[in-house]
C-alpha cells in the first residue's frame, strides 16, 4: 500500500454535501497551528469531467461524455443506482430545487437538532443564490401546465409554482432521458462550487473509491486518523486531521460499516465502534404516478420544456401530517418512445398501437403524487446486502391512495381519458432518502450531533442526506445543500478559525 | 440436453413444465422429436411472427418486419432468454384449441392478432397454468419488442473507433452524436422523437430563449 499526502481535512464524496463543505473549508478554514489556509482534499469514486462549463453551452469534453453517458454509464453506477462522478447526481432530471419549508425546520428541531430556520438562514440564502432557484414564466410552460393550474384553482385549492435550479436552459428535455444536462444549464457543484474552491487550493482526487476509515483506539477514545482508498487497482493510504463523510444516504453508512463502525448485529466480530443507528431510520418519499390521455395536445412539441409547472400540497393534519405533493410533472417535456409504447394508455398492439405512437407524445400527461412526510414508519439499508429495506405501512398506503384519487379527480376535470395509476401500489425509491446516519442530541438514537460530529469517533464528521433527521417537503437537494452550508459554518467556527 | 435428440415429452419433463404443459398441446401436432437446430429456428420464427403482429408493416408504413434485414429478431431474442423453448411451444400450440388445430405460426396475420386478444382476455383458456404461460410469453415479448423497436433499433448505437471514442460527423466541433439517420424509418421516426439536437437546432433554441429567460 502506498502512502499519500497528509491533509488537514479530507472530504469523502463530491456530491452536493461534500462539495459545499469542501469549498467552504478551502476558502475560509485556517489551520490554527500554522495560521495558514487549510489543506483540503475531496475524494470521489467517479471521474472528473473538468472544464469551465458555460450554462447553456457546456464544454466540448462534457458535451461528448454526457451525450454518450447512457451507453457508457454502467461502470460508473453505484449498486443503488446513483452515479459516481465529481459533482454528484443528486440534482437530476428537471433540476427541481426547494429550500426547506418552515415545517421542515420544525421537524428537524423535534427530532433533536437546533437546525432552525433562523440558524440556517445564511446557508439557505446562499443556496438560493448559488443554485439560481426560480420559478419559470408562463410563456415557457405547456398547455398542460396551465390547464393543471386553472383546474386546481377552480377546485378551490392553493396552487404553488414549481422551483428549479438552472440557468440558460434550452428546454430540450434531454435531461429527462438521463441525469445530466449536456448544455450545463443545470446548477451543480461542478459549476457553482468546485471551480472556485480549486482556486483556494482544494485538491479533487477522482476515481478514488474509499475502502475504509482508519480508526485508532487511544485509551477509551476512538479517533479517526486517515483512510484507505483504491485508485486504478492500487491501495493508497491518506492521513487527515479531520475527515468529513459525504457519501450519501447509502454510501455513508456503508463506508462506516466497512470501517467497523455500526450496529453489533450487523458487524459481529468486526465491530470496532458501536452505534446502532447506522443504516437505520431511513425516511423516503413514496410515490404513485397517475396518467391520462388528452384529445387535444397538452405538450409543446417533440422536445418541449423540461419539468417545471405547478403543484398543490395536501396535509392530513396539523404540522404537515402525511403531507402529499401533487405535481403536474408529466404535463410537459418529452417521453422516450419505448416508455410511451408501454404506457397504460397505449393500446395492446397492432395498427391501433402504431397510430397511438404517432401522436401520443403530445397527448399523454401525468401527475406525480409524492408522500413527502411518511408517518409512523422508517426503513433501513441492509448494509450486508446493500439493499434498501422499506415495506411502508397502512398509513402510507392510505395517504397515497387518497393522493392518487385526488390526482385522478384533477385529471378528469382537465378532460383526460383512460386515467390510470391512481390505484397502483406505492413506489418506494431511495432517490430522496434521508436519515441513515441521523443527526440529534441523543447518542442513543442518532449518529452525529447538531455540529455534524460523530457521537462516537473523534475528528469524524458527516454531512449529506444521511444526517437529515426527516424528509423535507420538497426534493432532497435544497435541504442537503442548506444543511451542508450550516455544517461548513459550524466546522469552520468550531475547529478552523 | 446437449446435442442429443430428445422427445417432446422428455424435453418438457426436463425443462420443468411437465404434465400441465403436455395436456394443452394438441396431440396431432406434437412431433416425436426435433433437433436443437429446429427448435432454435422455430424459436426465431415465433418471435419474428410475434414482432410482426405487435408492430405491423404496411405499404408506405414501415414496421417491425422492415427491420428484419437488420436482424431485429435476433436482437429481441437476446432479452427473452427467460422464456424457455417449452413455454414457447405451449404458446405456439395454444392456438390450436381455438383455431382448428393450427399452431401460431400457421395462422394468418389477423388470426394471430385474434389469438393475442384471446390471451389478454383469458376466458378461452380454462387451464390456469396454460394461461399463465401464454400471458408470460405475450407480455415479455411485447415489452421486449416495444423496447428494442422504439429505442431506435438498428440506429440505437453510436459509432465508435477502436478505442471506444464516438465517431463524429466530419467538421462537427460540438460533439453532437445522434445515431438516428434519415435513411431508414425507425421507432424514433414513427414516434416523432429526434434524439440529441444538432448545433444549428441548438442555436435556434438559444436565440428563442435568450428573448425569454437568459442570464449571461
Grid coordinates of A120? 440556517
Residue A478 near residue A472, CB atoms below 8 Å: yes
Supply the DSSP string of A106-126, one letter for each residue: HHHHHTT----TTTTHHHHHH
For residues A383 and A437, give the distance between their C-alpha atoms in angstroms, rounded to a whole number.
Answer: 13
The whole-number pLDDT of residue B24 equals 37
CB contacts < 8 A, A to B, total 117
User: What domain range includes position A100?
Assistant: 2-131+181-281+433-495
Number of domain units in chain A: 2
Do A119 and A250 share a structural domain? yes
Burial of A383 (0-12, 13-18, 19+ CB in 10 A): buried
Grid coordinates of B143? 415489452
Do A201 and A304 share a structural domain? no
Interface of B with A (CB under 8 A): 53-56, 58, 61, 63, 113, 116-117, 120, 142-143, 146-147, 149-152, 157-158, 166, 173-177, 187-188, 190-194, 196-197, 202, 205-206, 209, 212-216
**Chain B contacts of A60, Cβ < 8 Å?**
173-175
- In tens, the pLDDT along A438-461 reads 999 999 999 999 999 999 999 999
**Chain A contacts of B194, Cβ < 8 Å?**
302-303
Q: What is the ipTM of this complex?
A: 0.84
Provide the CATH number for the domain around residue A391. Answer: 3.30.560.10
Do A141 and A125 share a structural domain? no
Whether A169 and B117 lie within 8 Å, measured CB to CB: no
Calculate what percentage of chain A has a pLDDT beyond 70.
95
Question: Testing the interface with A: which of B59, B134, B145, B175 to mutate, by most A Cβ within 10 A?
Answer: B175
Do A250 and A209 share a structural domain? yes
Residue A452 near residue A491, CB atoms below 8 Å: yes
Whether B206 and A336 lie within 8 Å, measured CB to CB: no
* Alpha-helix residue ranges (DSSP H) falling in A187-308: 189-192, 194-199, 248-258, 264-267
For residues A331 and A333, give the distance between their C-alpha atoms in angstroms, rounded to a whole number.
Answer: 7
Whether B196 and A303 lie within 8 Å, measured CB to CB: no
Residue A280, pLDDT > 70, answer yes
DSSP element (H, E) containing B144: helix B128-150
- Could you give the C-alpha distances from A256 to A83, A253, A437, B211, in angstroms and in order? 20, 5, 10, 50
Residue among A112, A398, A427, A434 nearest A283 (CA): A434
Do A486 and A454 share a structural domain? yes
Residue A409 near residue A402, CB atoms below 8 Å: no
Whether B193 and A361 lie within 8 Å, measured CB to CB: yes
Residue B24 near residue B14, CB atoms below 8 Å: no
- Nearest by CB: B213 against A140, A303, A338: A140
Residue A250, pLDDT > 70, answer yes
DSSP element (H, E) containing A397: helix A394-414
- In tens, the pLDDT along A322-378 reads 999 999 988 887 788 999 999 999 999 999 999 999 999 899 999 999 999 999 999
Do A228 and A316 share a structural domain? no
Whether A349 and B142 lie within 8 Å, measured CB to CB: yes
* Domain contains A173: no
Provide the CATH number for the domain around residue A219. Answer: 3.50.50.60
Residue B178 near residue B184, CB atoms below 8 Å: no
For residues B71 and B153, give the distance between their C-alpha atoms in angstroms, rounded to a whole number.
Answer: 10
- pTM to 2 decimals? 0.89
How many residues belong to chain A?
497
For residues A119 and B146, give the distance between their C-alpha atoms in angstroms, rounded to a whole number.
Answer: 52
For residues A381 and A452, give the distance between their C-alpha atoms in angstroms, rounded to a whole number.
Answer: 21
Do A105 and A229 share a structural domain? yes
For residues A162 and A330, give the distance between their C-alpha atoms in angstroms, rounded to a whole number.
Answer: 13
The whole-number pLDDT of residue A333 equals 78
Among A72-76, A106-110, B4-8, name the most confident range.
A106-110
Do A96 and A64 share a structural domain? yes
For residues A221 and A114, give the distance between their C-alpha atoms in angstroms, rounded to a whole number.
Answer: 26
- In tens, the pLDDT along A165-220 reads 999 998 887 777 666 888 889 888 988 899 999 999 999 999 999 999 999 999 99
Grid coordinates of A465? 442526506
**Mean pLDDT value across residues A303-318:** 85
Amino acid at each position: 500500500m502506498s502512502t499519500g499526502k497528509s491533509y488537514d481535512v479530507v472530504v469523502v464524496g463530491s456530491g452536493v454535501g461534500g462539495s459545499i463543505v469542501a469549498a467552504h473549508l478551502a476558502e475560509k478554514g485556517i489551520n490554527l497551528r500554522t495560521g495558514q489556509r487549510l489543506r483540503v482534499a475531496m475524494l470521489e469514486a467517479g471521474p472528473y469531467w473538468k472544464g469551465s462549463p458555460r450554462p447553456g453551452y457546456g464544454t466540448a469534453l462534457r458535451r461528448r461524455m454526457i451525450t454518450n453517458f447512457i451507453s457508457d454509464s454502467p461502470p460508473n453506477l453505484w449498486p443503488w443506482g446513483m452515479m459516481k462522478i465529481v459533482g454528484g447526481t443528486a440534482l437530476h432530471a428537471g433540476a427541481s430545487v426547494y429550500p426547506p419549508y418552515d415545517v421542515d425546520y420544525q421537524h428537524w428541531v423535534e427530532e433533536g437538532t437546533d437546525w432552525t430556520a433562523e440558524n440556517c438562514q445564511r446557508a439557505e440564502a446562499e443556496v438560493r443564490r448559488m443554485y439560481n432557484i426560480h420559478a419559470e414564466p408562463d410563456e415557457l410552460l405547456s398547455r398542460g401546465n396551465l390547464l393543471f393550474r386553472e383546474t386546481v384553482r377552480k377546485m378551490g385549492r392553493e396552487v404553488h409554482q414549481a422551483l428549479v435550479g438552472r440557468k440558460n436552459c434550452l428546454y430540450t428535455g434531454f435531461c429527462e432521458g438521463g441525469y445530466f444536462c449536456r448544455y450545463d444549464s443545470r446548477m451543480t457543484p461542478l459549476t457553482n462550487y468546485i471551480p472556485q474552491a480549486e482556486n483556494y487550493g482544494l485538491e479533487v482526487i477522482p476515481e478514488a473509491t474509499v475502502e475504509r476509515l482508519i480508526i485508532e483506539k487511544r485509551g477509551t477514545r476512538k479517533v479517526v486518523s486517515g483512510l484507505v482508498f483504491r485508485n486504478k487497482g492500487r491501495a493508497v493510504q491518506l492521513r487527515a486531521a479531520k475527515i468529513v463523510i459525504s457519501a450519501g444516504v447509502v454510501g455513508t453508512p456503508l463506508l462506516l460499516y466497512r470501517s467497523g463502525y455500526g450496529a453489533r448485529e450487523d458487524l459481529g466480530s468486526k465491530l470496532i465502534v458501536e452505534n446502532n443507528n447506522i443504516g437505520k431510520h431511513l425516511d423516503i418519499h413514496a410515490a404513485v404516478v397517475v396518467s391520462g390521455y388528452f384529445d387535444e395536445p397538452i405538450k409543446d412539441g417533440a422536445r418541449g420544456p423540461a419539468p417545471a409547472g405547478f403543484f398543490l400540497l395536501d396535509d392530513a393534519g396539523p404540522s404537515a401530517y402525511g403531507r402529499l405533493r401533487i405535481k403536474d410533472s408529466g404535463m410537459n417535456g418529452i417521453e422516450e418512445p419505448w416508455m410511451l409504447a408501454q404506457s397504460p394508455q397505449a393500446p395492446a398492439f397492432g395498427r391501433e398501437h402504431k397510430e397511438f405512437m404517432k401522436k401520443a407524445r403530445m397527448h399523454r400527461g401525468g401527475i406525480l403524487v409524492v408522500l413527502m412526510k411518511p408517518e409512523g414508519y422508517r426503513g433501513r439499508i441492509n448494509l450486508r446486502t446493500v439493499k434498501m429495506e422499506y415495506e411502508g405501512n397502512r398509513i402510507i398506503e392510505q395517504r397515497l391512495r387518497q393522493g392518487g384519487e385526488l390526482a385522478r379527480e384533477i385529471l378528469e376535470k382537465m378532460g383526460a381519458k383512460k386515467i390510470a395509476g391512481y390505484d397502483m401500489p406505492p413506489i418506494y425509491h431511495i432517490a430522496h432518502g434521508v436519515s441513515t446516519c441521523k443527526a440529534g442530541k441523543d447518542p442513543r438514537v442518532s449518529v452525529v450531533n447538531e455540529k455534524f460530529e460523530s457521537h462516537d469517533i473523534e475528528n469524524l464528521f458527516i454531512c449529506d442526506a444521511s444526517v437529515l433527521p426527516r424528509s423535507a417537503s420538497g426534493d432532497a437537494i435544497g435541504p442537503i445543500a442548506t444543511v451542508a452550508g450550516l455544517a461548513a459554518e459550524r466546522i469552520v467556527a468550531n475547529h478552523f478559525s | 440436453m446437449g446435442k442429443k435428440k430428445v422427445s417432446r415429452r422428455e424435453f418438457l419433463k426436463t425443462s420443468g413444465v411437465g404434465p400441465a404443459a403436455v395436456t394443452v398441446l394438441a396431440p396431432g401436432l406434437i412431433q416425436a422429436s426435433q433437433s436443437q437446430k429446429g427448435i432454435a429456428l422455430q424459436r426465431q420464427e415465433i418471435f419474428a411472427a410475434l414482432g410482426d403482429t405487435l408492430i405491423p408493416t404496411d405499404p408506405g408504413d414501415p414496421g417491425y418486419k422492415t427491420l428484419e434485414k437488420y436482424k431485429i429478431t435476433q436482437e429481441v431474442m437476446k432479452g427473452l432468454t427467460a422464456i424457455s423453448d417449452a413455454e414457447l411451444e405451449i404458446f405456439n400450440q395454444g392456438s390450436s384449441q381455438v383455431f382448428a388445430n393450427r399452431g401460431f405460426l400457421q395462422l394468418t396475420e389477423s388470426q394471430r392478432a385474434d389469438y393475442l386478444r384471446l390471451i389478454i382476455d383469458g376466458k378461452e383458456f380454462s387451464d390456469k397454468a396454460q394461461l399463465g404461460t401464454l400471458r408470460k410469453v405475450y407480455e415479455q415479448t411485447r415489452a421486449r419488442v416495444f423496447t428494442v423497436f422504439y429505442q431506435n433499433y438498428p440506429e440505437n448505437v453510436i459509432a465508435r473507433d477502436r478505442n471506444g471514442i464516438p465517431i463524429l460527423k466530419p467538421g462537427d466541433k460540438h460533439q453532437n452524436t445522434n445515431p438516428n439517420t434519415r435513411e431508414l424509418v425507425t421507432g424514433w421516426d414513427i414516434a416523432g422523437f429526434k434524439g440529441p439536437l444538432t448545433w444549428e437546432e441548438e442555436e435556434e433554441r438559444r436565440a428563442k430563449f435568450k428573448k425569454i429567460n437568459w442570464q449571461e
